[in-house]
Amino acid sequence: MAKSYIESLLGEHEKIVLVTRQHWFMLARAIFVEIITILIIFAASIAASIAFPLFAVLIAAIGFVIFLIPILTMTVDILNWSHRQYIITNRRVIQISGIFNKNVIDSNLEKVNDVKMNQTAMGRLFGYGDIEILTASELGVNLFKRIDEPIRFKTAMMNAKESIDRGIPSEEVSMPASIPDLISRLDNLRKQGILTEEEFQQKKSELLSKL
């Protein structure tokens, strides 16, 4: 089976921990503007054809050409969004962009000095935020803007880095459990009598507050 582009970038014994993109909200915002533009062009073409019936064919042809512009930009936006990926492996963080010409930037986890996350109120509501990675390399800073589930991304990256720092074998590094999974595990502990109902509800509330 042919390797995907991401898999072709991986070294020996390197494994993918997490793959994410910019939040869908960023794509939806761009598409919304383009859909409004399409509707305006369509309405203007019809109105002009009614007002100037002798030039209806010419107006329709011009409107069709103009109509293609926002459709083209929408297609480009969708392709750019789908091809821009942020990947965490057990060794590094990789940023890939570009539809045909690929641009790949990676940061070795061993050289990561600090990770900053910024979430606005809107970002917390919809689940997106900015991740800033400070490294010891010449580039210094990698900024991932408005990525999906930034808390999960940061947690996965810090877990992978900690595993490297502690010398844990790379195959033991795995994707962090989601909050619903953690709540399910706590519920199993409660059913087994390891946790009391009060302890379960307290831990559950703490996890839900992080959503």
Domain boundaries, the chain: 5-22+84-176, 26-80, 179-211
Quick one: pLDDT at residue 176? Answer: 54
Rounded CA-CA distance 207/180 in Å is 9
Question: First vs last Cα of the chain: how many Å apart?
Answer: 38
177-181 long-range contacts (CB < 8 A, ≥24 apart) are: 178/152, 179/207, 179/208, 179/210, 179/211
Structure tokens at 150: 């930034």
| CB-CB contact of 67 with 38 (8 Å) | yes
Rounded CA-CA distance 151/129 in Å is 8
pLDDT in tens, 19-58: 999 999 889 988 999 999 999 999 999 999 898 988 888 9
pLDDT in tens, 157-183: 888 888 877 765 545 444 455 667 777
DSSP secondary-structure letter at 176?
P
More confident residue, 177 or 206: 206
**Domain 5-22+84-176 falls in which CATH fold?**
PH-domain like (2.30.29)
- Nearest CA among 55, 33, 11, 14 for reference residue 164: 14
